[in-house]
Chains A and B, each alone.
Chain A
């Protein structure tokens, strides 16, 4: 499978009231054609910012990219100017956000909003853009009737609105879709419908996706590969089955154990400490103050991604050994296997 998007060592900071926030400290991830990558992490880890950075949607001069590359189909997006990025958005890479109500203009009919996107990128006639819009609506499971086209956003329910946003994102046939918490604002029964839709889009239209979410369950059920982020960097990336059944990074393991699946209250593990302040983040590996397996080298040097399996990378000295050898995988694996077994039994 060809590489569609590669983010290498992306570094980003932005200015805020209290100082300079070093939001991204070297993010690496890869998305292949027709692949679904899950970008998972808790709030403040930088996953949304990564998505916005890929599309060039961050406000300058507050946000400043200080290093790295974003290679899309062989071209570095960071070298492109505003005009070029504008034609790229929607046509090549599109994005769907968390709150569908906020993403749609309340005073325009949804048909009009989708058609506008099509006309801008494809320069086709009104009739053709209407046809394209109808097709897009059908693809996301909405009735492709005139009645739907004439409705306003507030006349749809949450789940249907999110489908409208996805139709708008896919209307121009972009090969890559970035979905930022697409189901967080939706009810759990509607969530299942939308997740199935995302899978279908990949199956039928071949749309590659980056699904940004804090819900490990969502990532587990929809993604092929998963990248776990903590405090501005990807700590582990690999096939979802691998990463969840045999996590290497202590944060991934700890995160999995916090999930309420298969636990009772007395057994819920927590991660001691709290998410670091990114204005003065910990030195070296940003997770080291909270890590059970911290080594002497951890506070001094930031670990680089090391391959530990087929397309499975970890940034951790304890997991990979300072000389690159894979260490410490077994203990972590055993406890997670137990948890996974229990989850299967009780769910």
Chain B
């Protein structure tokens, strides 16, 4: 066995065991399959969409408002664009947003929480009060305020969501840090003369990952919904970009007679968010030691 494998034997064993537990949960596997499928579709979108140009935003006014048919499997919208192609093209945004935004939130919120919780005292008070201010507002409202301030675009929607969301993770990690700083192994590290920031980085934060990951799995779906919601009210993606939230908004006026314009985009959001939630459930089962029997 190579030296790397020997040194990481435990981690490999644990990883193999966790994968086994995860795959026991059928729903989680379905969720994962949906996400993988969506990622694949998003990547090869330009090649599989029947009308790529329309997916990107070109209109085709001669074929407006057509019901689903053989030519347009999901119908066309009020600009004559093929709905199927637009749904395919629209898959990229929620995927990018979900990963990038969540990563940013975690990268900002977690270290701040760790530092505040570990040091306690005045620093902790200040950070917690700042978080309280943010947390007092419903996060969507806060995001709307920020986007309105920065100007509507997908990029600004992402920034707005990050700014309104990081305090949740800070508070979560701060709570963990407060309890972890009393643990014997932290005391042992102090006895050896390990500096504070090393303790936070090597001892406190790695042991906080559990609840953070759980929170992330709960949040990814919500982040997607938040982004779609911002686009719906016109503060996110701007026409003619294919974005599911925007498509629902565009389909609103036609909902009674040409329901397909908004419905399929809505269905896509539903399925993707559901998939993330199922995967989240599966991950939580992996992380929860009590279910390890």
| Proximity string of chain B (4-17) to chain A, C-beta cutoff 8 Å, 1 when within and 0 when not | 00000000000001
A231→B293 CA distance, assembly (Å): 21
A90→B51 CA distance, assembly (Å): 76
A62 within 8 A of B: yes
A1 within 8 A of B: no
B292 within 8 A of A: yes
Closest 6 CB pairs of A and B: A17-B292, A62-B293, A15-B293, A16-B293, A17-B17, A17-B293
Chain A interface residue count, CB cutoff 8 Å, equals 4
Query: For A62, what are the chain B residues with a Cβ–Cβ distance below 8 Å?
Result: 293
| Proximity string of chain A (9-21) to chain B, C-beta cutoff 8 Å, 1 when within and 0 when not | 0000001110000
Query: For A16, what are the chain B residues with a Cβ–Cβ distance below 8 Å?
Result: 293
Q: Which residues of B contact A (CB under 8 A)?
A: 17, 292-293
- Interface CB pairs A-B, < 8 A, 6: A15-B293, A16-B293, A17-B17, A17-B292, A17-B293, A62-B293
Interface of chain A residues 16 through 50 with chain B (CB within 8 A): 16-17
A177→B293 CA distance, assembly (Å): 31
A16→B293 CA distance, assembly (Å): 5
Which residue among A15, A17, A62 has the maximum number of chain B CB atoms within 10 Å of its CB?
A: A17
Query: For B293, what are the chain A residues with a Cβ–Cβ distance below 8 Å?
Result: 15-17, 62
Query: For B17, what are the chain A residues with a Cβ–Cβ distance below 8 Å?
Result: 17
Nearest A residue to B13 by beta-carbon distance?
A18
| Proximity string of chain A (200-221) to chain B, C-beta cutoff 8 Å, 1 when within and 0 when not | 0000000000000000000000
Nearest B residue to A16 by beta-carbon distance?
B293
Interface of chain A residues 137 through 162 with chain B (CB within 8 A): none
A189→B17 CA distance, assembly (Å): 47
A17→B293 CA distance, assembly (Å): 5
A16→B290 CA distance, assembly (Å): 11
A62→B292 CA distance, assembly (Å): 11
Query: For A15, what are the chain B residues with a Cβ–Cβ distance below 8 Å?
Result: 293
A316→B8 CA distance, assembly (Å): 42
Interface of chain A residues 51 through 74 with chain B (CB within 8 A): 62
Interface of chain A residues 151 through 184 with chain B (CB within 8 A): none
Q: What is the distance, in angstroms, from B153's C-beta to the closest C-beta of chain A? A: 49
Q: What is the distance, in angstroms, from A191's C-beta to the closest C-beta of chain B? A: 25
Q: What is the distance, in angstroms, from B291's C-beta to the closest C-beta of chain A? A: 10
Nearest B residue to A14 by beta-carbon distance?
B293
Q: What is the distance, in angstroms, from B24's C-beta to the closest C-beta of chain A? A: 13
A47→B267 CA distance, assembly (Å): 58
Q: What is the distance, in angstroms, from A129's C-beta to the closest C-beta of chain B? A: 36
Q: What is the distance, in angstroms, from B9's C-beta to the closest C-beta of chain A? A: 14
A17→B290 CA distance, assembly (Å): 10
Q: What is the distance, in angstroms, from B22's C-beta to the closest C-beta of chain A? A: 14
Query: For A17, what are the chain B residues with a Cβ–Cβ distance below 8 Å?
Result: 17, 292-293
A299→B17 CA distance, assembly (Å): 32
Nearest B residue to A17 by beta-carbon distance?
B292
